[in-house]
Structure 1
Amino acid sequence: MEGFRNMTDLTIFDEMESSVRSYVRSFPAVFTKASGYKLWDTEGKEYLDFFAGAGALNYGHNEPRMKKKLIDYIQNDGITHSLDKATEAKADFLKRFNDVILKPRDMEYKVMFPGPTGTNTVESALKIARKVTGRTDVISFTRGFHGMTIGSLAVSGNSAKRKGAGVPLTNSVTMPFDNFMDENESLDYLERFLEDNGSGVAIPAAMILETVQGEGGINTARFEWIKRIEEICENWGILLIIDDVQAGVGRTGTFFSFEKAGIKPDIICLSKSIGGYGLPLALTLIKPEHDQWSPGEHNGTFRGNNHAFVTATESLTYWEDSAFEESIKEKSGKITAFLNSLVRRFPDLQGEVRGRGFMQGIASPVEGLSSKIAEEAFNRGLIMETSGGNDEVFKLFPPLIIDDQGLEEGFGIIEESIKSVLANHKQVAD
């Protein structure tokens, strides 16, 4: 182990880790330390984090108050593993979540702990929707992504990820997401399928969607489109599932990504930053009338992560003060303005600004350009990733707690990266 601690290369990962590894290929460094919106590698190089654990670190790395609460809890021999037994840490979280998040938004939901990850909450949502309605099919939307287990893959759009299942993915129907169709009539199209007995589409148990599609290319649904989805679901007795695993917990500006649409989904999926500290935690919020589980009907060994309950409870302190949400709004405006300026000043990008809040990016149809920009940014000390079916979007996902100095420094690196990549691209073209 001493030899490994002194290693600064990636040999051990190349030799021993499965070829399925992904992010280590995009960010080829051995990281040793992280704080706030920065990371450091074994060479002492500093990186700005505009990735935030793919949205799992909305409050940054090693947030001081959460760290102290967690250390105190561990040192006092607090319960670590408990399945779904009652613990003080879980009780504290449930009360704080109800008082700080649900009640102020006039929301009443049962809280289910389905397991530690996003795909766990999606699987449980699909299962309870089918149980409640007695139907089997689920309508999902083009370019959506909901997880890597079989049920979640069945309602995801990415063909490469679907192929990885190795078996047929069934009981799902794909409909066009907002603005997927040129004529912008996607919901008229959807309703026609529901109304026509000859359409081949049965009335589904549920519809599932992300309000902003993260992996699918930062595609953003208009609030009026989302509201009409809810109306269609109500008219046909279909349960509405909002997958807020990545877009929620403030990432798109408000705690829940759908708040400005004025909807009350039947089921809400949360994970990633709900744990506050990057610790695995997932919630499935279910309207009380739909909470029809039998005890143990859906379970899992790690459905009660008490360390995550501790940090999640502390993270909700941010939402007790409206100033935090206001700061997200203010900084989101700066991100939008910066991205719009890039599109104007660099026409060779052929760029389109997408997204909302701290979940924004630029899509470029120029093959490979966004990936090269992200790679150049990493070389210059900034971590960001790409998304979309062809990695055509480079996206900005900084922690919500980043200050103006951090934003401006990151903006500078991105701009210089674009200049460098476009200059090289022009040389190759010439």
Structure 2
Amino acid sequence: MISNDLSIFNELESSVRSYIRSFPAVFTKAKGYKMWDAEGKEYIDFFSGAGALNYGHNESKMKKKLVEYILSDGITHSLDMATQAKAEFLEKFNNVILKPRKMNYRVMFPGPTGTNTVESALKLARKVTGRTNVISFTNGFHGMTIGSLSVTGNAEKRKGAGIPLEHVVTMPYDSFVNDQFDTLEYLERFLEDNGSGVDTPAAMILETVQGEGGINTARMEWLERIDAICKKRNILLIIDDVQAGVGRTGTFFSFEETKVKPDIICLSKSISGYGLPLALTLIKPELDRWSPGEHNGTFRGNNPAFITATEALSYWEDPAFEKDINRKADNITAFLTAAVEKYPELEGEVRGRGFMQGIESKVDGLSGKIAAAAFERGLIMETAGVNDQVFKLFPPLTIDDEGLEKGFAIIEDSIKSLISQKQLVTN
């Protein structure tokens, strides 16, 4: 294949495909923060596999370890049997991530994807508490299987289930109504009043920064109050860190700046470091009440992913890595803030934190047009929110300053071109 001809995909692949529609090219190569298509065009990647490539494409040290492992006939598939690759990952994850943060969790490998870890978390919470209902939050996104969809807010995605999604109560996320409305006073009133129709749930599940929901960021004090409400009522708190974790918001876990101690933590996407499928469910030891095989799956022991995940954790051994993430995150914030001020036609608002930021535009359809114009100029960037009203920046955490600045320049050129061509659609 020597061109960007998409006919084979149009003819043979299911119509469910989506990203190929936003990024209509045949990609052949990727390294770091760059990708190339079949015609040799270079793109800057501000998408990072929807947050699955926090360390960029084909990171050299991980690639070397992976190739060596494959050539040595290392175990590839093993279900949940003991392997050296798994042992080395567990030891390093405990020593580099959990112990320095004074965190004590059992590690469960529920299956290869984000929705697998969410499903296992919901299932365990119901088993441990003996309760049925779960509280989720507006605009949350937790996966595409039935349990995960039940705690997801997006109406279009929920509709795809084809059946009623039950045993979940949706409550307003921080600032869902406005910044003045106290959503947790509202939530507590439902839990306190026996006439509310809301039973004490097994768990609450939330993202500290809602990725697909529109880069909505919960305030630290809001998260701490949620934690206190859960502890007071013996409700389990599940933090879905599938997208916001592994450094995406500036710290390894997205809640580290708070006093929150989740009962269950869901990780996937960038935990493998290399884009290989891997998911973890972190469980407080006293909640680890599974019987052997009670929750299982054929691909819950992805040994090549353990190899790259172990190497990826080496980044976190050096405190300078986290400091550099936050320094560059400040540059992202500064660029987005300046763009909103410089181009009032955006009717924009900066959303998110860390390497998980974007601009919400009140102009209908404008964010999608900006992302499309950026792609034409050589930048891969997606939109978020129920109406795709946010264009979001998800560069690799390892991107250098030059790559960031080039990406910023393309975004600004895209904004200017749309404004000058008067392609804005007013509300």
1:92-111 map, 5 Å? 92-111=88-107
1:365 aligns with 2:345: no
TM-score with structure 1 setting the length? 0.98
1:349 aligns with 2:335: no
1:187-202 map, 5 Å? 187-202=184-199
1:33 aligns with 2:34: no
The residue aligned with 1:172 is 168
Deviation string, structure 1 residues 216-254 (Cα, Å, up to 9, x no partner): 000000111000000000001000000000000000000
Q: Which of residues 78, 81, 96 is equivalent to 1:85? A: 81
1:235 aligns with 2:238: no
Structure 1 portions without partners, runs of 5+ = none
CA distance in 2, matches of 1:39, 1:202: 50
The number of equivalent residue pairs is 425
Deviation string, structure 1 residues 365-399 (Cα, Å, up to 9, x no partner): 10100000000000000000000000000000000
CA distance in 1, matches of 2:317, 2:2: 44
The residue aligned with 2:280 is 283
1:207-226 map, 5 Å? 207-226=204-223
The residue aligned with 1:423 is 420
1:113 aligns with 2:100: no
Q: Which of residues 147, 150, 154 is equivalent to 1:151? A: 147
What amino acid is the match of 1:211?
Answer: T
CA distance in 2, matches of 1:25, 1:238: 42
CA distance in 1, matches of 2:34, 2:340: 27
- The answer to whether the 8 A contact 2:2-2:39 is kept is no
Change (3 A) 1:428 1:348: closer
1:394 aligns with 2:391: yes
The residue aligned with 2:312 is 315
Give the deviation of 1:421 after TM superposition.
1.2
Deviation string, structure 1 residues 191-220 (Cα, Å, up to 9, x no partner): 000000000000000000000000000000
Give the deviation of 1:184 after TM superposition.
2.6
SS of aligned partner of 2:422: helix
Change (3 A) 1:427 1:378: closer
Deviation string, structure 1 residues 233-284 (Cα, Å, up to 9, x no partner): 0001000000000000000000000000121100000000000000000000
The residue aligned with 2:119 is 123
CA distance in 2, matches of 1:111, 1:196: 37
Q: Which of residues 294, 299, 311 is equivalent to 1:297? A: 294
CA distance in 2, matches of 1:33, 1:302: 27
Structure 2 portions without partners, runs of 5+ = none
- The answer to whether the 8 A contact 2:366-2:424 is kept is no
What amino acid is the match of 2:421?
Answer: N
SS of aligned partner of 1:386: strand
1:242-261 map, 5 Å? 242-261=239-258
Deviation string, structure 1 residues 286-339 (Cα, Å, up to 9, x no partner): 000000000000000000000000000000000000000000000000000000
CA distance in 2, matches of 1:426, 1:81: 52
Alpha-carbon RMSD: 0.9
SS of aligned partner of 1:378: helix
Give the deviation of 1:181 after TM superposition.
1.9
What amino acid is the match of 1:179?
Answer: S
What amino acid is the match of 1:45?
Answer: K
The residue aligned with 2:8 is 12
TM-score with structure 2 setting the length? 0.99
What amino acid is the match of 2:354?
Answer: G
What amino acid is the match of 2:164?
Answer: P
CA distance in 2, matches of 1:265, 1:427: 43
1:407 aligns with 2:409: no
Give the deviation of 1:404 after TM superposition.
0.3
The residue aligned with 2:328 is 331
1:70 aligns with 2:69: no
What amino acid is the match of 2:265?
Answer: I
